[in-house]
Amino acid sequence: MSAIVTILAGILFGLGLAFAEMTNPAVVLGFLDILGNWNPSLIIVMASAIAVGMLGYIIKKKQLKPLLSHSWQVPVMRQIDAKLIIGAILFGIGWGLSGYCPGPGLTALVNNPAEGFYFVIALIIGSGLHHLQSLSSQK
């Protein structure tokens, strides 16, 4: 049942991204172009995501455990460290240069394969480098 809910959540997330046109890098880059042809639609998407997240926390407070798991899995780390800041900066630079973040970047394999291929390859390489770095820092 957990796998079905996960798949349905992924489909719903993808449909939401497509409906909001977040799979179109021109829309995202338009949001970042505050001195040119600014497109504020990303603010609505972000506000909607925050509202859904807040709803999740409200539900968590009212229920002892989730319906399909034995316990809530909520991030516990509250520390803002150099790794978090550097990661956020790299994410933002990549998003600003390409117009893609990971979710819409994967949809680009279908919508815009020429760009999507390069984005996904870079995503895999970056994830692999992070994994290698994590392994070496644990030793």
Residue 32 confidence (pLDDT):
86
Does the predicted TM-score (pTM) go above 0.75? Answer: no
What is the structure's pLDDT at 60?
92
Which residues 6+ apart lie within 8 Å of 20 measured at CB? Answer: 41, 44, 45
Q: Identify which of 62, 48, 64 has the alpha carbon closest to the alpha carbon of residue 12.
A: 48
- For 102-131, the pLDDT digits (tens) are 888 888 888 888 888 988 898 899 889 989
- Structure tokens of 137? 């820092």
CB 16 within 8 A of CB 9: no
Average pLDDT (6-20) is: 87
Mean pLDDT along residues 70-75: 87
Task: Report pLDDT digits (tens) over 43-66.
Answer: 998 999 999 999 999 999 999 888
